[in-house]
Amino acid sequence: MKYKHALFLNPYIENTATSVMGIFPPTGLEYVATSAKGLVDKLTLIDLRYETDLCDPAKLMDFIRNEKIDIICVGIGWDRQFREICELLNLMPDGIPLVVGGYKATEEVEELFRACPKIHIVVRGEGEETIKEILEGAPLEGILGISYRAGGKIAHNAHRPLPNVNTIASPDRVLRHNVYRMKLNGINMADLTFDSVLSARGCPFTCKFCTFSLNPLGQKRVYSERSVESVVDEIGELGANIILMSDDNFFTNAKRAEAICDLIIKRRIKKRFIAQARIEIAKHPRLLDKMVKAGFKMLLLGIESPHDRILAQLNKGFDSDTIRKYFNVLKKYPIYYHGYFIYGNIGESEEEMAYISKFAKEINLDSITFQKLRIEKFSPLKDIAKKTPGYHVTDRGELYSDTYSHASLKKIGRQIKFSFYTPFQVLKIVRKFLVVRFFTFGEIVSFLAAGPSLLKSVIVREIQKKRLGNSLKRIFVSNA
């Protein structure tokens, strides 16, 4: 074998007392590491969010040397901690090939090579097949889907054809050194364990703000499904009790999603599922019934805007009346609904942005996330922004305008947050978690016991203002 000991490293460091960042495994890196099995004598997977003894760069470098690691593979999936990760990569020992992949690495190939002189290879897009050829020692000029240093320049090989998803092995959880748990204020909630399953890759929709399925040269991942049996087999082997179905839209094929639910029910698999979906799932009542029986507790729904003009601009494929109509159906099912919104869109006024929180409550969303519009490298919105007077796009894809600066958009975001997350709304969230049985009463009590939290501060504030009883009555009686 060309390499003896390969290190697969998730370089993100968890440095906050209370965060959900660490509750799910680095699935993409685990897929690639699993595909490398049998091609090296030894394979080590390190997640720095949990391997706290190796977060000190000096200790990590000692580990690499002492373990005689001779190739390092790093996954960079997100913008966060990008500068810190580059600093870490520049400390890697000389003479050991450094391979980097993941969505952020794929998106920022040239920037990574400039910022990190020690990087040898960047794997673009899906890396399961590519890493095999790298570990086998194939000549770099013949490996599809990589960019690499050659003669003082950066060479970009052609795209690698995307493999059939049924040929890709599921992540080998044995490679992990830890169990992924909910953590509050540094305390692990032992009964709440998390994992993720990817049942399909790609997305057939063409929302203009989304380029997540593209590599840096614009290659789109055609929607591809795993077999129903392979998905449920993987779920059945997991020890975690909360599972994220991490597809872009788990319900793209409603008949297939229904078949997965049927098999979960048939095998009596008892898990709590979270899945991403589009609001069109409301057109499938039989599927929704089976989802409830199978244990689907939470849906993450991309709504993006309450305004028809902006929905059309983003190419969402529905309007605000359709959103309201579908939510009149969805609210009949005991499922927790979390909505995603985008604000700061091209031509959007402050009044339109502020309406997000009111609209979210009108359609009975339980919670929301809202982010400023980003215009990625291949987004069709880039041309619209350039042609719209007064709008600007930074090198990082951040959109702002002469009317709404970064600071003013951030202020509007805070207004949306506090307008939606009132004390009454937070208490409603607690009730909904209990109603859908996402968390048990005992687990919620454990959250409170773990220390200061949003929920605890809300309850304390309500007690101090002598209105907790009225709030609880409004939630548990009026809304029962």
Residue 375 in contact with residue 385, Cβ under 8 Å?
A: yes
Alpha-helix residue ranges (DSSP H) falling in 238-319:
254-266, 285-294, 308-314
Which comes out higher in pLDDT, residue 300 or 442?
Answer: 300
Q: How high is the pLDDT of residue 409?
A: 94
Which comes out higher in pLDDT, residue 257 or 392?
Answer: 257
Q: How high is the pLDDT of residue 441?
A: 78
User: Cβ of 46: how many Cβ atoms within 10 Å?
Assistant: 20
Mean pLDDT of the chain: 87
Instruction: Give the model confidence (pLDDT) of 221-262 as tens digits.
Output: 778 899 999 999 999 999 999 999 999 899 999 999 999 999
* Closest to 148 in 3D by CA, of 104, 182, 118: 118
Q: How high is the pLDDT of residue 52?
A: 85
pTM of the model: 0.88
Q: What is the mean pLDDT of residues 101-113?
A: 89
Is residue 476's pLDDT more than 60?
no
Interacting residues of 379 by C-beta distance below 8 A, sequence separation 6+: 208, 209, 210, 211, 397
Residue 194: strand pairing partners:
242
* Closest to 323 in 3D by CA, of 360, 351, 366: 360
How would you class 148 by CB atoms within 10 Å of its CB: exposed for 0-12, middle for 13-18, buried for 19 or more?
buried
Q: How high is the pLDDT of residue 24?
A: 87
Judged by DSSP in three states, 82 sits in helix
- Which range is least confidently modeled, 46-55, 171-180, 461-470? 461-470
Is residue 461's pLDDT more than 70?
no
Is residue 398's pLDDT more than 90?
no
Q: What whole-number distance in Å separates Cα of residue 385 and Cα of residue 466? A: 50
Q: What is the mean pLDDT of residues 125-148?
A: 95
Task: Report residue 322 CA to chain centroid gap.
Answer: 26
Q: What whole-number distance in Å separates Cα of residue 291 and Cα of residue 307? A: 30
- Which range is least confidently modeled, 48-62, 261-275, 327-341, 375-389? 375-389
Residue 406 in contact with residue 400, Cβ under 8 Å?
A: yes
Q: How confident is the model at residue 385 (pLDDT cuts 50, 70, 90)?
A: confident
Q: How high is the pLDDT of residue 426?
A: 87
- At CA 56, angle to CA 185 and CA 26, rounded to 5? 65
- Provide the residue type at 392 as one letter: H
Q: Work out the percent of the chain whose per-residue pLDDT is above 70.
A: 87
Q: What is the mean pLDDT of residues 258-283?
A: 97
Going along the chain from its start, the domains and CATH numbers come out as: 5-165 (3.40.50.2300), 198-421 (3.80.30.20), 422-480 (no CATH)
Is residue 480's pLDDT more than 60?
no
Is residue 287's pLDDT more than 70?
yes
Q: How confident is the model at residue 375 (pLDDT cuts 50, 70, 90)?
A: confident
Instruction: Give the model confidence (pLDDT) of 8-24 as tens digits.
Output: 999 998 754 334 556 88
Q: What is the mean pLDDT of residues 99-115?
A: 90
Distances in whole angstroms, Cα of residue 328 to Cα of each of 1, 123, 333, 342: 60, 45, 10, 22
* Closest to 338 in 3D by CA, of 432, 247, 463: 432
Instruction: Give the model confidence (pLDDT) of 314-353 as tens digits.
Output: 999 999 999 999 999 999 999 999 999 999 999 999 999 9
Is residue 40's pLDDT more than 80?
yes
Residue 372 in contact with residue 412, Cβ under 8 Å?
A: no
For the chain, how many residues are written?
480
Q: How high is the pLDDT of residue 190?
A: 60
